[in-house]
Amino acid sequence: SLPRPYRFRPAADLAAEIEWAKNRRISPGDYENALGAHEPPLPPDLMTRVFHAYERGKSARGLIDFEDVLELCVRMFRTDADARDRFMNRYAAFTVDEYQDVNLLQQELLEEWLGGRDDLCVVGDDFQSIYAFTGASSRHLLATPGARPGTTVIRLERNYRSSPQVLDFANRLVDALGGARKVLRATRPEGPRPLVQAVAAAEEEPRFVTAQIAELHRAGIALEDMAVLYRVNFRSEDYEEALAAAGIAYQVRDGAFLQRPAARRLLPRLRRGRGTDVAAAVRRLAKGEGFVTPPPDDLGEAELTRQSDLARLVRLAEEFDDGIRTGTDFAADLEARFGSGDGGRGVNLLTYHRAKGLEFEAVFLPRLVEGELPFRRARSEEAVAEERRLLYVGLTRAKVRLILTWPATSRPSRFLAELGVAGGHPPAAEAPSGAVEALKRWRAQRARRDGVPAYVILHDTTVAELARRRPQSEVQLAAVPGIGPAKIERYGPEIVALLASAD
């Protein structure tokens, strides 16, 4: 029933907006006046219309949603003394976990449960408050000591998950995170330094990550103990395709490319396609689903993912179209390229939000660029602060191996500077200058001989790491980040010999 430009917006974006309002106890009638700096997924008048229609639809069907359960409980305790007394006689003390994620509606219900009592234990970490889009806020956690006299604060500062190197790296964000001061200390043994590296271009990044995954797997890390995190769902398809091409099993925690709405809508029709003009057919189907290019800047994450998936289907069809094969063949090709990620085994592909509470031996954080992390819709200071906390959550999912990358052709995320990554490169330990210079001279000569840019031979970060580690064999060379099997085969003997003779 919405005007055509908004007709294809996913229900998930609209439902999330209603959830945002109801968790703040905002009614449809108050919605427009309560928006402030918040940006809804539709123009405010249209979103108000959707909100009213949603409430009317529930009422007509005799239904309530989860936020209604909480709201009705609050009202019950405030209007029904018998219900309140029976509850308070039964429950005397409360513990609330993940208290940084409590919203106003939940907090008001908690206050009704307490009824003025103070037998309350709350546990939380304001550094991991990442659900503002639902109305959650860490202010309830941070305000507890001041709001409840006699509160005892116990700081849990021993970290049992991450190596000292991973934790020290993540702790560089602490000053910018603000909130409650805490100093996390690692209890695990020493591990390798995080690898922080720019790659040549966006299309190279999935291949670089895939090569690193293969290398770590050969070194003994199980595929299931590695994870690639991304800010928005549509990034999964880059890694689905690259991992499938390399024969590496993977699992998508938030819905794989072919399981998301765009592909689910188009695939059944493609399977019936007998025509050979595949590109035109896919573009026509995509436009019928509301595909626009370029997508507007004001899209919510669900619709941005859907538009990106439609764009990818169109591009893949253009690459596939040879005037001979049919739409049926294209559908089969898609299933062969992207259909191996539903077995529940292999490398984990998931969003930062989905990764919260999980841990992995090795964690990859690609696409650390402006517009992605922080996300392009994060325009206010508060929104950027939440994006920073998302990165902190991602960093602290890693036990031992942490790899951060971004395309050199894009603008690096501002958070890299906060991590001390100056000029797009990590702060490296001092490497012997003679070895660095020797490696750079050899790299320049080899690049001229092979007719490729110098960074294709060895990135500056890899040069510094080689000079610092001084590997004495090809086996030791394989442990250096940025050196994979192909480079060992092509350059290994020369690098080892050069390092052995360098000052």
> In whole angstroms, how far apart are CA 132 and each of 22, 102, 128, 383, 387?
13, 10, 11, 8, 10
β-pairing, 185-186 vs 195-199, is unpaired
Closest among 491, 490, 401 to 196, alpha carbons compared: 401
User: Residue type at 333?
Assistant: D
CA 128 – CA 101 distance, rounded (Å): 8
Q: Cα-flanking dihedrals φ and ψ of residue 465, to 5°?
A: -70, -40
Query: What does pTM read for this prediction?
Result: 0.72
Say if residues 359 and 260 touch (Cβ distance below 8 Å): no
Query: Other C-beta atoms within 10 Å of 363: how many?
Result: 28
Measure the CA–CA gap between 260 and 311, rounded to whole angstroms. Answer: 13
Tens place of pLDDT for every residue, the chain, 503 residues? 788 777 777 788 899 899 999 999 999 999 999 998 788 888 899 999 999 999 999 999 999 999 999 999 999 999 999 999 999 999 999 999 999 999 999 999 999 999 989 899 999 999 999 888 888 889 999 999 988 888 999 999 899 999 999 999 998 888 888 888 787 889 999 989 999 988 888 888 999 999 999 999 998 999 999 999 999 888 888 898 888 888 888 888 767 778 788 888 888 888 888 888 888 989 988 888 888 877 776 677 778 888 888 988 998 888 888 888 888 888 888 887 776 555 568 899 999 998 998 999 999 999 999 988 898 878 778 888 899 999 999 999 999 999 999 998 889 999 998 898 855 443 344 445 688 888 988 888 888 888 776 766 887 767 877 887 788 887 778 767 667 777 888 888 899 888 888 76
Residue bearing tokens 């409590």: 102
How far are the Cα atoms of 45, 74, 171, 299 from residue 160, in angstroms, in the given order?
49, 39, 15, 39
Q: How many Cα atoms occupy the beta-carbon half-sphere of 337 within 13 Å?
A: 16
